[in-house]
Structures are given as structure tokens and as C-alpha cells.
Amino acid sequence: MISVPMKSSGAVNSQTVMAINQQNIQGPKTSQNVKSLNYMKSNQSSGVTAPSPNNTSISNHTISIKTIPALINPVQKGQKIAIENQGKLSKVYAKLGWNVTNSNCDVDVSAFMLNNSGCVIGDSWFVFYGQETSPDNSTHFSIDNGQDREVITIDFNKLNSNVSKIVFVLTINEALEKHLNFSMLNDAYIRIMNDSNQELVSFKMDEYYSNVTSMMIGEIYQHNGAWKFAAIGNGVAKDLAGLCEYYGVQVI
């Protein structure tokens, strides 16, 4: 079982998952942790006293707009493409960005490390701002202060052999509590880069729906021993805790 903290360090569980939305939790991640994490994260970023989670607060955040970097090898939703055309890759960087039209939207990236059945290979096998590194030290979450917003780094030489797919997900912190959704976003993209900072493939979303609070934007997966990228762009009405359960993380 795992506890999912938000904007904190440590492991994840049901208390953590809920805590992710409500507080910074140090330690394992649980479903409570995850929810608490989201709540704490937004309170810390605003620098104000935490309001009751039952109350709707008005954000004093300013909207930070980033220019989309040039997308060199774009694909369309539903397309799949090999990313190892020039030989085996040792490391890739999934760089993601977006802009928002509502300053309450605090967006983050998560990466779920799945087996052939589409489930995480263990409760700790996903990374996000509350759990920055995978158990095998292959996959790492970080903030990007340059062109992009957040980055997932994957070292294939360290990657557990049971991981056959890594799904990249965008979530909105406290979306359900604050009635936020993906119609308040635009310019969302993912680009996969190699060690030489060359773009292998990219995908920019065109569809943003009011009934979506989490977006599976893309994934890399193994096919016949080679890694490929799939542009997904499909969303669900779930928060991070709900996604953990969706991918098989047992949250307490």
C-alpha cells in the first residue's frame, strides 16, 4: 500500500493521497497523503493561511505565461512513433509545458510505471512532485525553470525490466475541490528529448474539456524490444488519488 504526498518528500498511502491535497507530508505516501499533499501544496504556493477545504477561495496568484518551444517532430493524437531510430537510447527527457487561463489552476506532471497488464509494478512505482524518484532510481521528476515547466527523466540502463510502459499525466491540484478543469488550460504539450537535447518527438494537445480534471497526454512503451511514443490526449474526471487507484496503486 502507498501513501501519495503532494509537494513533499517521502512515500505514498491513502492518508498521503488525501494529504497531498491538504498538506506537505514527509514519509510514505498513502491515499490520505496524496490528498493532503495537494491541499498543502496550494497553500504553500499562495503563501497565505490555509482555508478550510470545504470553502472556495479566491486566488491571488498571477498567471505565468510561457511561450511554447519550437516543436520539431510533432505528431497528432493517436499516432505512435519509434524513438530509437538511430540506435538504442540510454536516457530520455519527457519535457512538458502548458498555460492556464484561470490562476487557480496549479498543474503538475506524474509518470506511472506500468507492466504489460497496464498496472504499476508496485505501489511506489510512480513519480510526481511528492515522490521525485522511482525505487530503481531510473525515473526522476524535476521542475524546469527554462523553456518547459516540468521534466521526467528516464534512464533506461537503470529501468526495472518489468516496466514496459510509462504514462505521462497532467493533473490539476485540488481540481475537484475548487471546481477546476482542463477547459482552463491551453498550450499543453510533451516533447521527448535525447541526451543531446535533440527532440525525438512531440505532441501538442488541441482538445480541452470541462469534464476532465486529469489528462493522459502521452506514453512511451516497449514494442518488439524497442521504445516507442504514443500521443494520447485522453482525459478523465479523477484527481491524483483517483489516478493512483486507476493504475493499480493500493491507497490506504
User: pLDDT tens-digit profile of 115-134?
Assistant: 999 999 999 999 999 999 99
Triad 10, 138, 219: Cα angle to 5°: 100
Q: How far is CA 252 from CA 38, 100, 122, 135, 244, in A?
A: 17, 32, 14, 20, 11
Q: pLDDT class for 186, splitting at 50, 70, 90?
A: very high
**SS3 sequence of 130-161:** CECECCCCCEEEEECCCCCCEEEEEECCCCCC
Can you give the pLDDT at residue 52? 36
CA 134 and chain centroid, separation: 13
**pLDDT of the residue at 37:** 56
Mean pLDDT of 12-18: 49
* Residue range 147-163: mean pLDDT, rounded: 98
Mean local confidence (pLDDT), 224-238? 95
- pLDDT tens readout for residues 95-113: 999 999 999 999 999 999 9
CA distance 37 to 56: 18
Of residues 188 and 14, more confidence is placed in 188
At residue 201, the 3 state secondary structure works out as: strand
User: What strands lie across the sheet with 74-75, from one edge to the other?
Assistant: 74-75, 199-204, 185-193, 91-100, 150-155, 139-143
Joined together, the cell numbers standing for residue 239 give: 484527481
Model confidence at 18: pLDDT above 70: no
Dump pLDDT digits (tens) for 51-68. 333 433 445 568 889 999
| Max Cα–Cα distance, the chain, nearest Å | 54
Task: Tell me the pLDDT band of 236, cut-offs 50, 70 and 90.
Answer: very high
Quickly state the pLDDT bin for 30 (edges 50, 70, 90).
very low
Domains of the chain: 72-238 (2.60.60.30)
Q: Report the range of poorest mean pLDDT among 83-87, 137-141, 233-237.
A: 83-87
Segment 67-72 shows an average pLDDT of 97
**Using 50, 70 and 90 to split pLDDT, how confident is the model at 88?**
confident
CB neighbourhood size of 5 (10 A): 37
Helix spans in the chain (H):
14-19, 31-46, 175-178, 240-246
Rounded to the nearest integer, the mean pLDDT of the chain is 84
The better pLDDT of the pair 44, 166 is held by 166
